[in-house]
Amino acid sequence: MPDSSLFIPVILGTPRQGRQSDRVAKFIVEQVAARDRLETELIDIRNIAIATDDAGESLKDPQFSATIDRADGLIIVAPEYNHGYPGLLKHILDTCLKEYIHKAVGLCGVSAGPFGGTRVIQNLLPVMRELGLVTIFYDLNFSNVKQLFDESGNLIDKPTYIRRMERFMDELVWMSTVLKYGRQEVSLDKKDSIQVNTHANKPCPEIAVRMGTDAIDTVLKVSNNAQTGEVEATAVT
């Protein structure tokens, strides 16, 4: 019997003082935790100490990396800042790569305005794809967020948001389950011989050296050989 439990942490995507998104993230964590066979935890990006004089995997935080590595899916709570995502959220997301691959992600937009963070969600989509995450086709939107919670931080119209979350979670659980099965059971063996670069069409010096070509600006073109069915890589300079 396959293990049907899933670990789906929630990333709170802003460190801002007075942020409203923390109320949204706490509500989401509660709802995820209430579901059968789901484990979750809140990842507050405010608690990740990160330098700003470098970028990418060299800034990997061991705890963040281990949590993402263990995750089967993710929920990102992203407030809309000038129609985009908070810079610190992107800076932290960029510290991992392999940890995300073939895992599901659901996006939650938060905004002071009436559009529920739809623009931050649109802007996050290409980032998710490049990280190797698989987005679901439902989002969560919290518009006019300042009016949604009472003084104690509780959602005023909880039933509406519980209903919306159910649809979103059904999809996220389905996608996370399918991808977990895929990661465990579906082999990528055929491609092992060429060690596919996770960042397709980008310079890949390590493989270029093995192919005996110029390592500086070699880009690999990956294609399927129509006769043998084998995946082939050719160097394009």
In the complex with ligand FMN, the residue whose CB is nearer, 72 or 80, is: 80
In the complex with ligand FMN, the residue whose CB is nearer, 65 or 143, is: 143
Residue 139 beta carbon to ligand FMN: minimum distance, rounded to whole angstroms: 15
Give the contacts of 210 (CB within 8 A, at least 6 positions apart): none
Residue 143 beta carbon to ligand FMN: minimum distance, rounded to whole angstroms: 8
Give the contacts of 34 (CB within 8 A, at least 6 positions apart): none
In the complex with ligand FMN, the residue whose CB is nearer, 30 or 39, is: 30
Q: Are strands 73-79 and 42-44 parallel, antiparallel or unpaired?
A: unpaired
β-pair partners for 14? none
Return residues touching ligand FMN (CB under 6 A): 14, 16, 19-21, 79-83, 110-113, 145
Residue 20 beta carbon to ligand FMN: minimum distance, rounded to whole angstroms: 4
Identify the CA nearest to 208 among candidates 194, 223, 225, 191: 194
Structure tokens at 148: 């949604």
Give the C-alpha separation, 52 to 88, whole Å. 9
In the complex with ligand FMN, the residue whose CB is nearer, 25 or 207, is: 25
In the complex with ligand FMN, the residue whose CB is nearer, 46 or 83, is: 83
Residue 161 beta carbon to ligand FMN: minimum distance, rounded to whole angstroms: 16
Whether the CB-CB separation of 106 and 28 falls below 8 Å is answered with no
DSSP state of 155: B
In the complex with ligand FMN, the residue whose CB is nearer, 24 or 173, is: 24
β-pair partners for 172? none
Residue 8 beta carbon to ligand FMN: minimum distance, rounded to whole angstroms: 21
Residue 220 beta carbon to ligand FMN: minimum distance, rounded to whole angstroms: 39
Element (H, E) at 232: strand 231-236
Structure tokens at 20: 């409203």
